[in-house]
Amino acid sequence: MHELSICRSITDIVNRHAGDKPVQTVRIRIGELRQIVPETLTYCWGLVTEGSALESSTLEIERVPLAIRCSSCDARTTLSSPILVCPECDGTTVEIVAGEEFLITSLELAEV
Ligand SMILES: [Zn+2]
């Protein structure tokens, strides 16, 4: 499963950054263009962290909408569907400016 390997990479990164400090919340940002189902990711997070130091941590997922910039009229638009056409001039020469993100934005460590 795609989400399972993503969760494994996240735990690797989190463990490297947090060291032996307990982690409460892991916040990640995922663009709409990424073929990821947040619910599945949360479920896999539970599986991957079970029995580890991250077992009690929460994964918070923020979705970033797809946005494009049109090369013809320079309009920047946030799209609700992944159809890469400028709604201002129907231009198809567009540049994706948001929606491809995949990053860990912050780690919240538990009080000790
Ligand atoms: Zn345009």
Express each pLDDT in 11-46 by its tens digit: 999 999 998 889 999 999 999 988 889 999 999 999
**Contact criterion met (CB below 8 Å) for 42 and 65:** no
Nearest to 97 by CA among 60, 28, 74: 74
pLDDT at 112: 64
Tell me which residues have their CB within 5 A of the ion that is ligand 1.
Answer: 70, 72-73, 75, 86, 88-89, 91
C-beta neighbour count of 65 within 10 angstroms:
12
Compute the distance from residue 34 Cα to the ligand 1 centre, in Å: 24
pLDDT 10s digits, 42-80: 999 999 999 999 999 999 999 999 999 999 999 999 998
Residues in CB range of 45: below 8 A, 6 or more apart: 7, 10, 59
- Pairing between strand 94-98 and 58-64? unpaired
Question: Given this model, what pLDDT does residue 64 score?
Answer: 94
Q: How confident is the model at residue 98 (pLDDT cuts 50, 70, 90)?
A: very high
Cα(78) to centroid of ligand 1, in Å? 12
Return the domain boundaries, the chain: 2-109
Would you state the pLDDT for residue 106? Answer: 94
Q: What is the pLDDT of residue 51?
A: 95
CATH number for 2-109: choose from 1.20.1250.20, 2.30.29.30, 2.40.50.220, 3.30.2320.80: 3.30.2320.80
**Contact between residue 109 and residue 27 where contact means Cβ atoms under 8 Å apart:** no
pLDDT of 1 strictly over 60 = no
**Cα distance between residue 59 and residue 78, in whole Å:** 26
